Amino acid sequence: MTTTGIASLGLALPSRYLDVRDLAALRGVDPDKFTKGLGCHEIALLGEGEDVVTLAASAAERALARWGGSPKDLGLVAVGTETAQDMSRPLSAFVADAIGLRGAYRSYETKHACYGGTVALRQALEWKASGAARGKAALVIASDVALYAPKDPGEPTQGAGAVAFIVDDASVAEVDLESHAWAEPAFDFWRPVGESFPRVDGPLSLACYETATTECFRQLAGGRPLADVLEGFAALCFHVPFPKMVKKGVMKLGEAQGWDEGATSALFESKVMPTMEWNRRTGNSYTAALWTSVAKALAGAASGTRVAAFSYGSGFGSELLTLTAGPAAAAGAWVADVEGDLARRERIDADTYLAYRGA
């Protein structure tokens, strides 16, 4: 197989979680607001000794272990994150330290809020397709720990996780080189230098996300009826800040297209909702959130199955990618990463969460 794409996937989740109903009780909020109003269920939280680097390193080791190549075949290592450890040293260097990489490869970190991982993946795919890779492969990782200030409205949407890709042949999925981007400068969600938690304009972030969705899918349609184009896709994956937000984006898309509300809801239930099963267990993992959804959609997919992936990063930048499942998707080897991590993790209670957050 010579086509460029995703040759291997690995995922990693942290070892603890909080049920949002426990958070609701702690904060004196009706639990239905978090579960029904926002669509949130569980918040993945770091355990002892875990951080954005250990998550990224685990995902990378898992992707490398199920790939046919070896680290000396890598010509590029890129990490997309908004949980930077340093203003200068890239997260890719921290990960290389953790998993013992060194050699003839390009190493860097990309940043564009939750879109940063997609940027790294796109660059790796384009590097391969350009011929500059000269037969080498790329290791790309999206890794984040999403925490808001205690009692912030975003607290129930917190989460963490990492997804790693080997960009080489298209065993897992071919990614179309043509994609559909849309960007506009906005302050919808940002974290000033030196501050620990993001600042968020919630209503603006929703408006930006809806604009990005509408614009990217309009480009995908390319003048054809979008409903006809989407019939060719078995799954539509979105960046998942929290599931209700994705539903709002899809409903807005339907409104812009003049679809009947019931038809848009049916599309959401059949092609979008199933892709968020793992996201509901992790919470928002920023750069990794979309790719967790894509990994879910590809797992068990027959070769040739088409999947769309809409990436959104505050600030804001967005891009709609289209993928075709390859021969290794049906076996979905990476399901073991998620199921194993979910089975092993510990549920913490509100008091432990309070001690962890300090408030």
Binding positions for ligand CAA, rule: CB under 6 A = 30, 32-33, 36-38, 113-114, 153-154, 157, 188-189, 200, 202, 205, 209, 239, 241-242, 244-245, 284, 286, 312, 314
Minimum distance from residue 117 beta carbon to ligand CAA (Å): 12
Minimum distance from residue 106 beta carbon to ligand CAA (Å): 28
Minimum distance from residue 92 beta carbon to ligand CAA (Å): 22
Using the minimum distance from each CB to ligand CAA, give the nearer residue, 174 or 215: 215
Q: If we measure between CA atoms, which residue out of 283, 285, 308, 321 comes closest to residue 176?
A: 321
For residue 316, what are the contacts with CB-CB under 8 A and spacing of at least 6? 113, 115, 183, 184, 185, 186, 188, 208, 209, 212
Using the minimum distance from each CB to ligand CAA, give the nearer residue, 103 or 153: 153
Using the minimum distance from each CB to ligand CAA, give the nearer residue, 58 or 287: 287
Minimum distance from residue 155 beta carbon to ligand CAA (Å): 8
Minimum distance from residue 262 beta carbon to ligand CAA (Å): 17
Using the minimum distance from each CB to ligand CAA, give the nearer residue, 41 or 306: 41
Give residue number: closest CB to ligand CAA: 37
Residue 150: exposed, middle, or buried by beta-carbon count in 10 A (0-12, 13-18, 19+)? middle
Minimum distance from residue 114 beta carbon to ligand CAA (Å): 4
CB 20 within 8 A of CB 30: no
Using the minimum distance from each CB to ligand CAA, give the nearer residue, 147 or 328: 147
The amino acid present at 93, given as its one-letter code, is A
Using the minimum distance from each CB to ligand CAA, give the nearer residue, 174 or 210: 210
Q: Give the chain's radius of gyration (CA, Å).
A: 19
